[in-house]
Amino acid sequence: MYIDDTSIGGYHQLLKEIVDNVKDEFIDGHVKRLVITIDTKEQVVEVRDSGRGMPIEIMEKEGVSALTALFTLSHTGGKFGKGAYTSATSGLHGIGTKVVNALSDSLQVWTHWKNQVWTQKFERGVATSGVELDPKKLKRGTIVKFHPDRDIFKDPKVKFDPKRILAWLEDASYLCQGLHILVKVDDDAPVIFKSELGLGDMLAKETKDLETLHKPLLLHTDLFDLALVWTKETEGEQWKSFVNTSPTAQHGTHVEGVKKALQRMFSVVNGSKKERLRGEDLRDGLVAVLNAKIVNPEFKGQTKSRLGNAEVLDLIYSACIGPLKQFATNNPQILKQLVSKAASLRDARQQFRAKQQAIKGVKVAKGARGLMPEKLCEAPDCDASVRELFLVEGDSAGGPVKHGRLRIATKRGPVHFQEVLPLRGKTLNVVRKDDLDKILNNKEINAIVQAIGAGIGDDFDLRKCRYRGVYLLADADPDGKHIISLLLAFFARHLPGLIEAGRLFIVLNPLFRGVSAKKCAYGASVGAVQKKLGRASNIRITRYKGLGESGPMDLRYYALDPNTRRIMKVVWGGTKDQKLTIKYMDKDVAIRKKLMELVE
């Protein structure tokens, strides 16, 4: 409920909850220094601040010390004390420390209170000692040291990632302008963050490799801090949003307020109203960072991924509109350039939609779900929530894959849940083709779009997708890697919503197959196969020249069966990943060959 999951994200959320409390102390003017020590071997983290410390007096109603209550009882904490916080802070439920304590097999806290240092120990959320005096030297503030509970975070691969933590703390230094943050990882040299310009520094970092169209606009008010700039290279818009320094990955009403003000800003440009331009087109190339300061934030979920306060939209809009109109008045040529670009995007989209009619020219057969590509082997009797699509390299591989498909049980009996679409040769490199007509007239691409059924580009609608997952299956050789790269480029550029939804996968099919008297094994190398077969006698190892050499049962084992196949989910980092895709798939063949390990 409070950390989203027990994987890498939830694991790091524990540290974030403790640091968020320190950031709140900073916002309210009580902290100047934050020190975080990470032991990656023991997976122990210590967070030390120079704040007010935690009280240790007995709470009359609860019957325990305030320190104990802060780590064990719901709805107790500084944010619930009357007048305790005078500024906007990131907490809402007052439950962060309790969650960390409950999900740690050991936690100890030290606090400087009334010229003495006190400590208390906990195990899995339960106090194992009272509040005791401690000889530890602590002139001010609090120390929290904890070890996540491995009975909860069972995956041994889930560990503290210093790079992830450092990136997050660097952002924290921009949001907490002037806060001195020191991070010590194992025996490495300490890393120090301290920002003098706040969000101005963050925006400079985000755009350091981009050509900007104007001097960044920086706005500082009691309600929010905002930094934005339009760039030449960025496709779409890029936002980093926060509420009271807590990141809101899914944004919310604070970002919507700024977007509404930006839309209104363009009205000062003659003719922009008549153009009926989309807000996202006018914001194309925009890079913006926003930190809203809300006294009583209402988040969607404890991890604060989206702000829900309805009144914030109009408050931010009202505070933004004046400075933004002044910016437009001072930069008329920039605004006209952006309006012209937006009109071009609108025209291109209209052309794109018109040319989508070319899809209808593909030779199709009437399927159970409407018009389907002729070569698609369908599974019409199962629901889209369980159906899978395999994009397979070549007709020779398509046959064995079709015969290797599995069935699932339904009320009507066992039915196929996997569909197969063989692709002929290498698909079009959409990165090097700006002509939409040629892209849409490519039969292989048209067949993919039709099979998925969710549209393309701006018309993509995940709700119409016919599959819970799309699997790329090509030979495990350089040509196969190239085909996978071309398909990834297509999905990244024209169906990014499928990647964002976590529905695109790559099948890690083997290059070698080994057989002994009693066993069969697969692997990427001869050594890997030999290791799996062990000391068996009469071992025969063969190298697949292509998927077509695999039998249906082989393909079922290493590609089709969810219990035995090896797959890799294609994860999405937004516009940065899109830029890398375009870079690797563009005209520079050398960089692509190096990436695919075809050259040293």
Last residue of a domain, one of 133, 161, 193: 193
Kindly tell me if the per-residue pLDDT of 588 is higher than 70.
no
Q: Are residues 143 and 281 in the same domain?
A: no
Q: Count the helices and strands in the chain (H runs, E runs).
A: 19, 26
Residue 1 maps to a domain: no
Q: Are residues 311 and 405 in the same domain?
A: no
User: Which of 364 and 573 is assigned the larger pLDDT?
Assistant: 573
Residue 357, CA distances (Å) to 47, 225, 353, 380, 452 in order: 59, 46, 7, 25, 17
The answer to whether 403 and 554 have CB atoms below 8 angstroms apart is no
Rg (CA), the chain: 28
Kindly tell me if the per-residue pLDDT of 589 is higher than 70.
no
Q: What pLDDT shows up at residue 494?
A: 82
Q: Are residues 393 and 534 in the same domain?
A: yes
Least confident range from 317-326, 371-380, 556-565: namely 371-380
Structural domains counted in the chain: 3
Last residue of a domain, one of 299, 319, 351: 351
Q: Are residues 180 and 209 in the same domain?
A: no
Residue 65 maps to a domain: yes
Q: Are residues 347 and 376 in the same domain?
A: no
Kindly tell me if the per-residue pLDDT of 86 is higher than 50.
no
Q: Are residues 333 and 416 in the same domain?
A: no
Q: Of 56, 189, 57, 71, which is closest to residue 124 (Cα–Cα)? A: 71
Residue 600 maps to a domain: no
Q: What is the CATH number of the domain that holds 531?
A: 3.40.50.670
Kindly tell me if the per-residue pLDDT of 89 is higher than 80.
no
For residue 157, give every residue at least 6 positions away whose Cβ sits within 8 Å of its Cβ, in sequence order, or none: none
Residue 255 maps to a domain: yes
Query: pLDDT (tens digit, 9 = 90+) per residue, 426-452?
Result: 667 766 555 555 666 778 888 898 899
Only one residue has tokens 């960390």, namely 100
For 48, list phi and psi in degrees, rounded to 5: -120, 135
Q: Are residues 29 and 142 in the same domain?
A: yes
Query: pLDDT (tens digit, 9 = 90+) per residue, 311-320?
Result: 999 999 999 9
* Residues 280-301, mean pLDDT to the nearest whole number: 89
Q: Which domain holds residue 175?
A: 8-193
Kindly tell me if the per-residue pLDDT of 143 is higher than 70.
yes
Kindly tell me if the per-residue pLDDT of 120 is higher than 50.
yes
Query: pLDDT (tens digit, 9 = 90+) per residue, 148-184?
Result: 999 999 999 999 999 999 999 999 999 999 999 999 9
Q: What pLDDT shows up at residue 599?
A: 42
Kindly tell me if the per-residue pLDDT of 523 is higher than 90.
no
The answer to whether 171 and 21 have CB atoms below 8 angstroms apart is no
The C-alpha atoms of residue 186 and residue 94 are separated, in whole angstroms, by 31
Letter for the amino acid at 341? K
Q: What pLDDT shows up at residue 435?
A: 55
**What's the whole-model pTM score?**
0.58
In the three-class reduction of DSSP (H, G, I as helix; E, B as strand; rest coil), residue 32 is classed as coil
Q: Are residues 383 and 455 in the same domain?
A: yes
In the three-class reduction of DSSP (H, G, I as helix; E, B as strand; rest coil), residue 447 is classed as helix
Q: What pLDDT shows up at residue 46?
A: 97
Q: Are residues 347 and 438 in the same domain?
A: no
Q: What is the CATH number of the domain that holds 166?
A: 3.30.565.10
Last residue of a domain, one of 351, 385, 412: 351
Q: Are residues 97 and 111 in the same domain?
A: yes
The C-alpha atoms of residue 303 and residue 96 are separated, in whole angstroms, by 10
Helix axes 162-175, 199-206, angle to 10 degrees: 130
Q: In the 3-class helix/strand/coil scheme, how is 162-211 assigned residue by residue?
A: HHHHHHHHHHHHHHCCCCEEEEEECCCCCEEECCCCCHHHHHHHHCCCCC
Q: How confident is the model at residue 77 (pLDDT cuts 50, 70, 90)?
A: low
Residue 3 maps to a domain: no
Residue 479 maps to a domain: yes
Q: Of 144, 33, 29, 48, which is closest to residue 88 (Cα–Cα)? A: 29
Kindly tell me if the per-residue pLDDT of 79 is higher than 50.
no
Residue 164 maps to a domain: yes
Beta-carbon neighbour count of residue 30 at 10 Å?
18
Residue 139 maps to a domain: yes
In the three-class reduction of DSSP (H, G, I as helix; E, B as strand; rest coil), residue 230 is classed as strand
The C-alpha atoms of residue 97 and residue 125 are separated, in whole angstroms, by 10
Q: Are residues 277 and 302 in the same domain?
A: yes
Q: Are residues 395 and 323 in the same domain?
A: no
How do beta strands 180-185 and 33-39 pair? parallel
Query: pLDDT (tens digit, 9 = 90+) per residue, 197-245?
Result: 999 999 999 999 889 999 999 999 999 999 999 998 777 899 999 998 8
